[in-house]
Structure 1
């Protein structure tokens, strides 16, 4: 039996055939669900970053002298040295709790507007209750040496005419806020004492801190171990291409953070360096600390 095939419909010249078949629409997520998840993750990361300074400071106080909240021991000598402290958020957290902290960084980054307001509020409280103390002379001299604390305030806050009374209180009470910056790199020249103030700061600081200090991480660990100086550091970036000398136990180049942490632990031949994870801090949260129980004591006490 012959098949009868219907001829195609005639089309004008240049006209293309369109597919008229119907397909089900692609599945779509509930409106806003992906955005909500993304916002939640961003919120968690931001909160974790903000809280890491508080958590790290609390960890430091708990490991030095818990009975006094760590303040007495940490304030020994010239106080805490915060290497590669950036915007000074860790140092600020310590300073507003009465712990002397000096940021060691070649560049000065003003605090955020939020943190600037926090510092202003703290200074206003101090100005309201300001009383002469025996330490006033030394505090004022050190403030003169390291410069006004107003350099930490965000430019938009400083230029706000409505905050003039607060700025006045800040300048009045700034000597009582133990927050300083020494604009130097943490390198051989700093430790070697090419500058008198650097030499004094290195020899008389109570403890050396590094919260994600980047390239300064390994020099910090090496110099503190050599001087038997207490430290606490939270490594972050590895920079493997810039440090080909770092090798794992199997002789391979150190490339991951875990390998870097093991490499740093291997630098301590005394076995006194301790590794701890701060679960309250997201991301890179491993702390390596050394002789924190000796903070405020002689470098060779208990050696």
Structure 2
């Protein structure tokens, strides 16, 4: 009786695994077919429909992850040397990695880890299914020869994507925030002893980061800058939402329109432009650059020097 139960359990597990493998194969085939259909539609009507689609909210910057990943590799070439994964089974957390803050569904992390073979740690309060995001959002945009190569790999090793992610990707399911000014104290030598993170895993991820990135990181954007300054880490952020009612401590100084000489007035940060200026004002070494995609595309970065 016991042997029979074990046989049933083993069969059930095998069936589920076969279904997962079949699902992965179908997802890849659908992705390839989708790209093929899009590339073959060249009639005027299809062009017009494409133009209307590009006018929809969010459609114009749908390739932002691809362009941002390329820009990162061009601007910070040291991460290729420090974060490239090897064939050995190394723990992601014990090596230098790219730290992706508020990575959302994980498309940027998927590109860096699976397309560029970099070790990546992502922090986001929601668990991400990076394997599915890679298949459904990244693969359809890859060159066809890469798609066919991946299809062949999956035929021989159905768990190929999951295996690659296990080598070089991990996620900390938590929020990313730094301590307030109330947590600052000094030791006997007068050294600032601010405790930035209550979560030791988050602090370790920051310390081992070769680069900290935040693409539209919302409420975590300023925390990325503060952490990078504290630990002397290169970073790049692309600010998006401002949340002026949530972050009431943010102010910048602008020229006084009243014409009072060189005097400047204190203004609360409420617009995207003001937010970028607020972040730039944190350190003279910071730089600003417009990225090659539409929407919120202003990058603020520092090489850590």
TM-score (norm 2): 0.61
Are 1:101 and 1:179, in contact at CA under 8 Å, matched by a contact in 2? Answer: yes
| Residue aligning to 2:172 | 182
Q: What is the aligned counterpart of 1:61 among 58, 62, 73? A: 73
Cα gap change, 1:192/1:164 in structure 2, threshold over 3 Å: closer, same or farther? farther
Q: Where does structure 2 lack aligned partners over 5 or more consecutive residues? A: 1-44, 86-94, 180-194, 254-264
1:47-91 superposed Cα distances (whole Å, 9 cap, x missing partner): x433211111111111122xx8x5114449431000000011111
Superposition deviation, residue 174 in structure 1: 4.3
Matches within 5 A, 1:117-128: 117=136
Give the SS at the match of 1:50.
coil
Shift of 1:45: 4.4
Offset of 1:289 from its aligned partner? 0.3
TM-score by length of 1: 0.62
Structure 1: give runs of 5+ residues left out of the alignment. Answer: 1-30, 130-162, 295-301
Following TM superposition, by how much is the alpha carbon of 1:40 offset from its aligned partner in structure 2, in angstroms?
A: 4.0
Are the counterparts in 2 of residues 81 and 101 from structure 1 also a CA contact under 8 Å? yes
Mapped partners of 2:249, 2:224: distance in 1: 17
Structure ranking higher on relative contact order (CA contacts 8 Å, 6+ apart): 1
Q: Report matched runs for 1:207-286 at 5 Å.
A: 207-249=211-253, 250-268=265-283, 271-278=284-291, 280-286=292-298
Contact 1:207 1:231 survives alignment (8 Å): yes
Does the aligned pair in 2 maintain the 1:84–1:104 contact within 8 Å? Answer: yes
Matches of 1:119 and 1:201, distance apart in 2: 28
Specify the structure having the higher radius of gyration (Cα): 1
Q: CA RMSD in A?
A: 3.7
Q: Which residue of 1 aligns with 2:21?
A: none
- Going from structure 1 to structure 2, the CA distance change for 1:188 and 1:243 (only over 3 Å counts) comes to closer
* Alignment of structure 1 residues 1-303 onto 2, 5 Å: 38-42=52-56, 45-46=58-59, 48-65=60-77, 70-75=79-84, 77-96=95-114, 97-111=116-130, 115-117=134-136, 167-176=158-167, 178-188=168-178, 192-249=196-253, 250-268=265-283, 271-278=284-291, 280-291=292-303
